[in-house]
Amino acid sequence: MQKIAPPLAAAWIAITVLSPRLTIAQSGSKCTVFGTPQVSPALVKLESVATLSAYKKGIPIHVTLTVRAGQEGVYLPDFFGAFQQTCSHGFATEVLTLQGRAANPNLPGCAYTGGAPKIRYVKLKPEEIRTWKIDLPTKAIAPGQYCLYAEYLSPEELIGWSVNLPDDKALVAKGRITATPIAIEIR
């Protein structure tokens, strides 16, 4: 994995994490995402929790993401860390403007070169959870109203790179597992 320049990083993250069909809307204290394809919540759900709804500029946003398997279990890539570590799967969270753009221009991006990586999947049992925590920096974010967007990415393309999936792929998460966006304020 290699790092890419910060100006490109924000654009890359916006392209990778957010589909071109993604629309963010905020009404009062509620953010809504429209138009992004996602994995059925019956198969797997993602919950995003932030410690506060308003943050002083420079104070990090503490976020906990929890992925929970549905009633039949689910197969996910066996990695429950930052998407930027793999550039192909994992948790991604971002502070977005109301127009759906990255609010922080200084976030690192990623890219990988070479052949396709071999992806190992893990089967989460019914209702089994995996949790990841992150502190999002706010120093470079202007004061204003934002949406905290979070997802776990398990792209369908990874199935071809897998080394351990069963023949029946019905329980394999294919796509974005999105959490309900959270309205936040930076002061």
Residue in the block written with tokens 């009633």: 71
- Is residue 163 a part of any domain in this protein? yes
Give the tens place of pLDDT for each residue, 117-166: 788 999 999 999 999 999 999 999 999 999 999 999 888 888 888 888 98
Domain count, the chain: 1
Domain carrying residue 149: 6-186
Determine the Cα angle at 177 with ends 176 and 179, to 5°: 125
- Is residue 135 a part of any domain in this protein? yes
Distance CA 145, CA 31 (A): 10
Q: Are 182 and 147 in contact (CB under 8 A)?
A: yes
CATH code for position 42? 2.60.40.2360
Task: Give the three-class secondary structure for 165.
Answer: coil
- Is residue 132 a part of any domain in this protein? yes
Give the tens place of pLDDT for each residue, 10-46: 333 333 344 433 455 555 556 776 666 689 999 999 9
Q: What is the mean pLDDT of residues 48-73?
A: 96
Beta strand pairing call for 182-186 and 54-55: parallel
- Is residue 93 a part of any domain in this protein? yes
- Is residue 1 a part of any domain in this protein? no
Q: How far is CA 96 from CA 13, 91, 92, 100, 176, in A?
A: 11, 16, 12, 5, 17
Structure tokens, 82? 């930052």
